[in-house]
């Protein structure tokens, strides 16, 4: 996708501002220093990899210049990682029985960016920065690039061991695009996240896209009625029907067409998603129901009225999500050399001095 000269200037400006933020800790929002055995600035404070977050930021920014859609994908990748087995980079593992081969994760993107950041860090400080932390840092940087707030993140995670045939099925944990409010609330509750957290986190739909196949039923045959979803704004529905034709052929390539989650604002972190929701222009069923269901509409309206409030609420919930099932005990996790290859505990091999440094750093919390 081509970027205009004005867009390039904006990217460069963002890069400078983000670098200043990372190096000087000038943030829009601050977090408590330590939570759940994680720490803000873990790699700096322990000396394991000074400048690690700057390296990740540079890789994410380069990826954004090449493909502006990748930032929203990186935010989604963190969500999908944390909701299944916790924030342990299990989504990065490739091969049989892995999360990325399950239906909910087939449209997840951004693996290559995490891999590139990991490769850069292995040159910079080998064996010290986990893939799980890279995912968290990359999502944070993506939000900033898209015009969202700058904020510190908790780091110090280890990566999970390999999955097996008895590992959890992502379909049992990840909320689907056609979930109702009760169904979505239950999915978030499994992660000890409240309904308010759910509304806050789904506000990330202010950026990114979804394929036609995830909402085409709303345009032509909602709930088997043979009619469009009556809650969908008619003008918006007409617009979507020009993009996503009616088809009963599940292999029709038109079903893979991407449509902005936030109408006309998919590259900007703003309140447009909430305004569109109130105008019955939520793309997915869950987006529409967040704005209209009595259980969620008041909070949806409240955070959609203020950038400051939305960002604060979103970051509070994102911080909670980023601590789901984290691994800090070296007996339960490790640091991968390559993110897509999870390492079984009996195959770990690292220089003795480095092993001692990593174990000492993690035992300190």
- Token pair, residue 8, equals 């390039």
Report which secondary-structure segment, H or E, holds 260: strand 258-260
Pick the closest to residue 57 from 69, 48, 65, 47 (CA basis).
Answer: 65
Residues in the chain: 365
* Antiparallel, parallel or unpaired: β 38-40 and 34-35: antiparallel
Report which secondary-structure segment, H or E, holds 6: helix 5-24
Pick the closest to residue 82 from 310, 319, 290 (CA basis).
Answer: 319
Contact predicate 122/335, CB 8 Å: no
* Environment class of 35 (CB within 10 Å of its CB; exposed 0-12, middle 13-18, buried 19+): middle
* Environment class of 47 (CB within 10 Å of its CB; exposed 0-12, middle 13-18, buried 19+): exposed
User: Annotated catalytic, 299?
Assistant: no
- Token pair, residue 162, equals 């390999």
Contact predicate 293/181, CB 8 Å: yes
Question: Token pair 């909670």 is at which residue?
Answer: 320
Catalytic site positions: 80
């Amino acid at each position: 996708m081509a970027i205009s000269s004005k867009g390039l200037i904006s990217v460069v400006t963002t890069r400078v501002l983000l670098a200043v933020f990372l190096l000087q800790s000038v943030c829009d929002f601050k977090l408590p220093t330590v939570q759940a055995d994680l720490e803000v600035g873990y790699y700096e404070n322990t000396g394991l990899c000074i400048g690690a977050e700057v390296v990740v930021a540079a890789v994410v920014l380069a990826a954004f210049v090449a493909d502006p859609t990748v930032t929203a994908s990186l935010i989604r990748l963190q969500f999908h990682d944390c909701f299944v087995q916790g924030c342990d980079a299990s989504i990065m593992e490739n091969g049989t029985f892995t999360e990325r081969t399950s239906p909910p994760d087939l449209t997840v993107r951004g693996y290559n960016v995490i891999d590139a950041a990991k490769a850069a860090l292995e040159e910079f400080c080998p064996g010290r920065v986990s893939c799980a932390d890279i995912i968290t840092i990359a999502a944070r940087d993506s939000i900033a690039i898209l015009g969202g707030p700058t904020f510190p993140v908790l780091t110090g995670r280890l990566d999970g061991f390999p999955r097996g045939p008895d590992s959890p099925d992502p379909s049992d944990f990840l909320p689907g695009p056609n979930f109702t409010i009760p169904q979505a609330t239950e999915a978030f509750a499994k992660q000890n996240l409240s309904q308010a957290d759910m509304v806050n986190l789904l506000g990330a739909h202010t950026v990114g896209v979804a394929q036609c196949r995830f909402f085409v039923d709303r345009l032509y045959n909602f709930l088997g009625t043979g009619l469009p979803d009556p809650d969908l704004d008619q003008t918006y529905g007409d617009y979507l029907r020009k993009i996503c034709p009616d088809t009963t052929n599940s292999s029709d390539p038109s079903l893979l067409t991407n449509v902005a989650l936030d109408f006309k604002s998919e590259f900007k972190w703003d309140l447009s998603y909430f305004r569109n929701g109130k105008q019955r222009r939520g793309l997915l069923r869950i987006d529409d129901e967040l704005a209209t269901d009595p259980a969620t509409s008041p909070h949806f309206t409240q955070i959609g009225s203020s950038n400051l409030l939305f960002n604060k609420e979103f970051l509070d919930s994102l911080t909670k999500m980023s601590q789901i099932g984290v691994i800090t005990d070296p007996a339960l996790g490790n640091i991968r050399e390559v993110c897509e290859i999870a390492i079984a505990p009996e195959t770990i091999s690292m220089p003795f001095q480095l092993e001692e440094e990593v174990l000492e750093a993690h035992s300190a919390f």
